[in-house]
Copies of this chain bind each other. A is one copy, B any other.
Amino acid sequence: MKPFPLLQTFIRFFKEKNISLTQHRFLLAVSGGVDSVVLCALSQRAGLNFAIAHCNFGLRGEESNRDEAFVRSLGEQYGVAVFVQQFDTAAYAGENRVSTQEAARTLRYNWFDTLRQDNGFAYTLLAHHANDNIETVLMHFFRGTGLEGLTGMPDENREKGCLRPMLHLKRSEILVYAAEHNLQWVEDSSNASSKYTRNFFRNEILPQLQTVFPQVEDNLLHNIHRMQRTAALYNEQVAALKKKVCEIKGEEVHIPVLKLLQYRHTSLLYEIIKDYGFSESYVAELLKLADAASGKYIANEAWRIIRHRAWFIIAPKT
């Protein structure tokens, strides 16, 4: 067996995106788990100039501190700076009425973004891999989702300056690489809900599916790529249709009712109103409004959609 070409795959990712390996400084998001430890190793071998960012969410007591210490030692080993941030995740979640998981995500990405901009890093590198993406898509699918939810994580987010250079590598490849290079890492004993659901798919559902569909992982990765291409075309077409029917007037959007309804598709109605925070259930209301008298409206917390003569007018509430 020839050695896994992980490093070549990693390097090719940057080449294909026209991102120089040597002319930028990179920030690596490192938890201390095997994925991010391999990210460090690959980054060093690819010649990247990098520093490490580690989040201590303080959710696992002594284990959180062990992880922080491990990542600090990793920084020493590679001779690179380590930024550590402690978060009061539980307090943030309580104040903002979001789940612990959602709080951790918001805190983490906001901090990466600030750190990157304040310290002149060109990109934040995240260690998500192909199996993370499969698990993400499965969670979306079984919770209920549209086309977008089946496209998985993007391998870049230009807005946030994030790249996922390992998104096309499988967990099994990463583990083999770690073993072959005698890498050390820490295991996260966390049983937070997201973790639990991921483990459920990883350890229970997917192995069973493999007994009936041996190629299920490849099939799901193939789905993700097909859905990404379908969504790209769909989104472009929806944007073109919106431009045809929506007239932007300051903060308001004016839409001729007859023109809109000639595109009978409820899917288009949803795509238009979702930008203003209306859920799918409002589509039926909007259709009723098409038959309603001038002056009637539907509303959510921030926006009204008003029937005004032959128009729908989407306007802010205040």
Interface residues of A (CB under 8 A from B): 141-147, 150, 197, 200, 204-205, 208-209, 212-213, 215-216, 218-220, 222-223, 226-227, 229-230, 232-234, 236-238, 241, 263, 265-268, 270, 280
Task: Kindly report which residue of chain B lies nearest to residue A146, judged by CB atoms.
Answer: B226
Evaluate contact between B223 and A234: CB separation under 8 angstroms.
Answer: no
User: Can you name 30 A-B residue pairings with CB atoms under 8 Å?
Assistant: A141-B220, A141-B223, A142-B212, A142-B216, A142-B219, A142-B220, A144-B215, A144-B219, A144-B220, A144-B222, A144-B223, A145-B223, A146-B223, A146-B230, A147-B147, A147-B227, A147-B230, A200-B212, A205-B209, A226-B280, A229-B265, A230-B267, A232-B267, A233-B263, A233-B265, A233-B267, A233-B268, A234-B234, A234-B237, A237-B237
A222: min CB distance to chain B, Å: 5
Task: Kindly report which residue of chain B lies nearest to residue A209, judged by CB atoms.
Answer: B142
Q: Which of B142, B209, B215, B219 contacts A213 (CB 8 A)?
A: B142
Task: Kindly report which residue of chain B lies nearest to residue A269, judged by CB atoms.
Answer: B229
Residues of B within 8 A of A230 (CB): 146-147, 234, 267
The docked-state distance in angstroms from the alpha carbon of A233 to that of B292 is 25
Residues of B within 8 A of A147 (CB): 147, 226-227, 230
Residues of B within 8 A of A215 (CB): 144
In the A-B complex, the 6 residue pairs with the smallest Cβ-Cβ separation, listed nearest first, are: A144-B219, A237-B237, A229-B267, A233-B267, A233-B265, A146-B226
The docked-state distance in angstroms from the alpha carbon of A220 to that of B146 is 11
Q: Which of B208, B227, B233 contacts A238 (CB 8 A)?
A: B233
Residues of B within 8 A of A144 (CB): 215, 218-220, 222-223
Residues of B within 8 A of A150 (CB): 150
Evaluate contact between A229 and B266: CB separation under 8 angstroms.
Answer: yes
Residues of B within 8 A of A205 (CB): 205, 208-209
Besides A142-B220, A229-B267, 15 other A-B contacts (C-beta < 8 A): A141-B141, A141-B220, A142-B219, A144-B215, A147-B147, A205-B205, A205-B208, A205-B209, A226-B280, A229-B270, A230-B234, A233-B234, A233-B237, A233-B267, A237-B241
The docked-state distance in angstroms from the alpha carbon of A270 to that of B233 is 11
Evaluate contact between B213 and A143: CB separation under 8 angstroms.
Answer: yes
A187: min CB distance to chain B, Å: 22
Residues of B within 8 A of A212 (CB): 142, 197, 200
The docked-state distance in angstroms from the alpha carbon of A267 to that of B142 is 25
The docked-state distance in angstroms from the alpha carbon of A229 to that of B268 is 9
The docked-state distance in angstroms from the alpha carbon of A143 to that of B246 is 40
